[in-house]
Structure 1
Amino acid sequence: MKIKQYRTQFIKELSAFYDAYEAESFFYLILEDKHQLRQIDLALNHELTFSESDFVIWDSLLAQLKKEVPIQYLLGKTNFYGLDFEVNENVLIPRPETEELVEWIINENAASNKSKKIKILDIGTGSGCIAISLAKNLPNAEVYGFDVSKKAIETAKRNAINNKVDVTFLFQDVLALEELRCNFDIIVSNPPYVRNLEKVEIKKNVLDYEPHLALFVDDNDALIFYRKIAELAKKNFIENGQLYFEINQYLGQETRDLLENMDFKNIELRKDIYDNDRMISCKV
């Protein structure tokens, strides 16, 4: 069968699960990953065909997409802030909103990083996307990443190697810490922040396949990680240390109030590309 014909069939079979644009994007992501062919290649050569062995691979991927397994897990990778990252069931799939958080940190610290070394800690590092992107773009930074999942740490370490940066990743339950072992210029975290009451809003591909450990918090103490990390930051920041969080869009004011009550200064709450309260920064 010609690839162009299979493309039509592929998109049609996914129409009950995804819109046509998303289904088409899946097709071209797989086409490039498995065959090193781009959309332009197919447009220029309508006679390209799949072999029998190709169909086995494609039909398997199609079956899993119908179960709404994330395409990033099926391919084992995704792109974040211009870098390629391995992703698997042990780590969250990096989101565009988190790229905005990384951009914010880089923009505010790139100039000073040229003249002095800074020490950065990423808490709940997952795939290492934040820590590695910062290390890549702030070359004088000494970067660390903590996570409570050993398998996530293993993934992050591979991602650091693949992206040719030096980041120290450590297995650590931040809620069990009384203090950090050294002082930091910047602490950043995208901790679990989705309340159980919000599960009804979560798509099946996230709810069924991404790690709940990295997603959900108890409804009765939704800011537990923010409070704990802010307490640690108070003890282990250098002068003018900066704290950055990705936050629950429904708890922007509550997160601001928490930081104000802990006497943090220069608190700034920002919206993401979807106009949701998504990130906040402050200084000691």
Structure 2
Amino acid sequence: MTLKNYRTYFLEKLTPLYDAMEAESFFHIALEELKGWRRVDLALNPDAGLSASEIKKWNDVLHQLEMQKPIQYIFGKAHFYGFEFEVNENTLIPRPETEELVDWIIKENEFRVSIKLLDIGTGSGCIAISLAKNLADAEVSAIDVSTEALAVARRNSETNKAGVNFILQDILAAEILPEHYDIIVSNPPYVRELEKAEIKQNVLDYEPHLALFVEDTDPLLFYRKIAILAKNNLKPEGRLYFEINQYLGTETVEMLEQLGFKNVVLRQDIYGNDRMIGCAV
């Protein structure tokens, strides 16, 4: 079978489950991972053949996609803010919205020196590592409750030569943070159980619920706890940043203002949803 013909078969199998553009993107990701080819290589070699062993590998990827397994988990990697990160079922897949949060932090703090920064709920380490690579002389630490996630984050830090200090800690059980910081950032669990109907099946079936969901009765649980800790552990002129639930922007702003944070700014993501907050101690 030629690669061109297999592409037709691949897309025909996936388009009932995914839109055409997404299915096409899956093909080209697999093309790069399995054959080391880019789009232009296929265009120049449309009649290239696939061996039986190659077809077996392609079919295995296709089967997993039909089971709606995220392609980032199939190949064990995701790209975020220009860096490559290992991901698996113990870590969330980094989102473009989170890149926007990282970009905001970098642009607001790129001229500060000797920054001490803490990322709470680090997962794959994508936020902490991206900030460590882009903020000169920053001393970056990251906390997570999952030993498995921290193992992934440590490998990502080594691969990307970021030098992040990782800490195993249940933030809800913490009474004080390890040090005083210039910046604290967190993308904690914020999806309410009542919002599960809006979540794609591939997320529900494969991504870690520990990092996603919070009880309906107290959806700001993590934000309140982190904000209280930050109030005591941010240095003068310190900044706190959150990625937030798009439906709870007003409530999160009000909570932070009630705790005494100043200059609370609510920002929208590229899709126009309330998605991130920055404020001063």
TM-score by length of 1: 0.98
Amino acid aligned to 1:138? L
2:114 equivalent to 1:145:
no
Displacement after TM superposition at 1:16 (Å): 1.1
* Structure 1: distance between partners of 2:186 and 2:209: 17
Are residue 177 (structure 1) and residue 143 (structure 2) matched? no
Q: CA separation in 1, counterparts of 2:166 and 2:179?
A: 15
Give the match for residue 203 of structure 1.
200
| Alignment map for 1:73-84 (pairs within 5 Å) | 73-84=73-84
Query: Which secondary structure state, in structure 2, belongs to the residue aligned with residue 221 of structure 1?
Result: coil
Instruction: Give distance in 2, aligned partners of 1:273 and 1:8.
Output: 32
Deviation at 1:181, TM superposition (A): 2.0
> SS of the counterpart of 1:213?
helix
Q: Which residue of 2 aligns with 1:85?
A: 85
- Deviations 1:151-197, CA, capped at 9 Å, x for gaps: 00000000001101100011110000000121000000000000000
Q: Distance in 1 between matches of 2:146 and 2:167?
A: 10
| CA–CA separation in structure 2 for the residues paired with 1:208 and 1:5 | 31
| Selected match of 2:245 from 244, 248, 254 | 248
Residues 1:268 and 2:249 are matched in the alignment: no
Are residue 67 (structure 1) and residue 64 (structure 2) matched? no
- 3-state SS of the aligned residue for 2:154? helix
- Indicate the residue corresponding to 2:110 in structure 1: 110
Deviation readout 1:117-170 (Å, 9 max, x if unpaired): 010000000000000000000121000010000000000000001101100011
Return the alpha-carbon distance in structure 1 between the equivalents of residues 258 and 252 of structure 2: 10
Count of residues paired in the alignment: 281
Give 4+ residue runs of structure 1 displaced > 3 Å after superposition.
Answer: none
The one-letter code sitting in structure 1 at the alignment partner of 2:187 is N
Deviation at 1:264, TM superposition (A): 0.4
Q: For the aligned residues, what is the CA RMSD?
A: 0.6
Query: Once the two structures are superposed, what CA deviation does each residue of 1:228-268 show, in whole Å capped at 9, x if it has no partner?
Result: 00000011111011000000000000000000100100100
CA distance in 2, matches of 1:92, 1:276: 20
Shift of 1:50: 1.0
Match of 1:25 in 2: 25
Q: Which residue number corresponds to residue 129 of structure 1?
A: 126
Q: Distance in 2 between matches of 1:58 and 1:50?
A: 10
Tell me what 1:6 maps to.
Answer: 6
Q: 1:233 aligns with which of 209, 212, 230?
A: 230
* Seq. identity, %: 62
CA–CA distance in structure 1, aligned partners of residues 134 and 109 of structure 2:
10
Query: Deviation digits for residues 193-237 of structure 1, max 9, x if unmatched?
Result: 000000000000101100000000000000000000000001111
Q: Secondary structure at the match of 1:94?
A: coil
Structure 2 counterpart of 1:172, one-letter code = Q
Report the Cα offset of residue 80 of structure 1: 0.2
Give structure 1 stretches of 5+ with no counterpart: none
The residue matched to 1:249 in structure 2 has which SS? coil
- The 3-state SS of whatever aligns with 1:220 is coil
